[in-house]
Amino acid sequence: MSLVRYFPTPSDRMGIIWSLMTVEQSVIIEYGPAGTTHYGIGFYGALGVDRENRIFTTHMSEDDVVMGDVSRLEKAILEVDSNLHPKVIFIVASPISAVIGADIAGVCAYMQEKTSARLIALEQGGLRGDYGLGLTQVYQQLAEAFVKKEARQVPNTYNIIGASAYSRRARSDINEIKRLMAEAFGSTLNACWLLDTSIDELQKTAKAQLNLCLRPEALPVCRRMQEHLGIPFVKGMPYGYTGTRNWLSLVGEILDLPIAPNLAKELAEKQRYVNSMKAMSFMRKDRQGKAALFGEYALVQGLGDFLEECAIPVTHRVLTQSPKVITELLENIVYLESERERLNVVEALQDTLVLADDALLHHCSADNHKIRASAPVLYAAERAHHLPLCGIHGADFLLEEVDAYLYPLK
């Protein structure tokens, strides 16, 4: 790993933990030193994840590491089970326990008969890659544990697969998707993987008629559910007016429902304004504008395409997560692994509409127009859950930012 000034890209272990912390009726025990867990607690809090009675650590002494003593883990499992009575206890490996090869799955197996909670081991330990791999792993492992074929599906219901607390405006985006699905088709959400959900919701996943696969990390589990449970899926995020219309059309084909006329009319009217921006751009000879995007794959792809529609050329689409789990990486999206490489790019930008995280925006010169669109957020808390980046409302917001960028107040 190269040196970093701010936060390194989160590991697979951290992606697993912040996902599991949003699952009600469950508790996480991390088998590792207290310092490892303590470092992450503040970070999870910054993501808006509730930490109270959600995550505990066993701590580890030198004897535990050298001799392979797992008595601390055994005692922690019994204590959490008897005091908090969760339905599920997730036992997560730390880097230390992963390095020494602690048999966490074996401990869960012989401790299961002593607990009321179901014990599930996740042994990755943060050594296999960045958080994208962790998300893929946790989706697949939870599907194996909780998703069973149902006798029947509930018509006009859907699951969101791929929600992540690390995505900027994640809760707002979920609320926008729920609004679009309700207004377009009268559809209702069945389960949300994995943000603000519960064990009960995960167990009813197979009742849904459709999966909405929001990110590449969720593709493997969506494909598996389609193959084994017969649940079709639509992949991608609805960014921009055209993108939202196309996304809703794909959903409507599976549900065998048309988009509600009022919503279709609203999308068409808003798209006409975007089309007019291309004509107006020829009149804006002294102020053409340009954009640069830094963030997760769906964001730099979807918002980049929308800005291009608005006659704002996108000069940089920089991926800030590992592309290992992305099978369809577009040629116009580049991955810069080191923070220094990304800083070099952003420091050279001038008079550009920049969508990025706080660390990169901090290094933008003052003549750029800056939008917080990615994590991590260093200098503010995300309080609003009604300000999405996706869907109609997200496109409305971005157009206002484009106007502020093109026509700044003197």
If we measure between CA atoms, which residue out of 52, 177, 194 comes closest to residue 134? 194
pLDDT digits (tens, 9 = 90+) for 20-76: 999 999 999 998 776 666 556 666 666 667 666 788 988 766 666 656 678 889 999
Sheet strands (E) in 9-57: 23-24, 26-31, 55-57
pLDDT digits (tens, 9 = 90+) for 130-162: 899 999 999 999 999 999 987 788 999 999 999
pLDDT at 159: 98
Cis peptide before 336 (omega within 30 of 0): no
Region of residue 71 (phi > 0: left; psi between -120 and 50: alpha; otherwise: beta): alpha
pLDDT at 174: 97
Residues with pLDDT less than 70, the chain: 1-2, 34-48, 50-52, 60-68, 100-101, 126, 281-286
On whether the CB atoms of residues 95 and 69 are closer than 8 A, the answer is: no
12-129 and 278-406 agree in CATH topology: yes
Q: Cα–Cα–Cα angle for 321, 309, 285, nearest 5°? A: 115
Run of H or E including 229: helix 219-229
Q: What distance in Å separates the CA atoms of residue 2 and residue 15, rounded to the nearest whole number?
A: 20
Residues contacting residue 56 through CB under 8 Å, at least 6 positions apart: 27, 28, 29, 30, 37, 76, 80
pLDDT at 339: 87
pLDDT at 63: 64
Domains of the chain: which residue ranges?
12-129, 157-262, 278-406
Q: What are phi and psi of 384, to 5 degrees?
A: -80, 140
Could you tell me which CATH class the domain 12-129 is placed in? Answer: alpha beta
Q: Name the token pair of 100.
A: 């020494």
Q: Using only C-alpha atoms, what is the Rg of the chain?
A: 23
Is the CATH number of domain 278-406 3.40.50.2300? no
Question: 334-335 and 26-31: which strand pairing?
Answer: unpaired
The CATH architecture of the domain made up of 157-262 is 3-Layer(aba) Sandwich (3.40)
Question: 210-213 and 353-356: which strand pairing?
Answer: unpaired
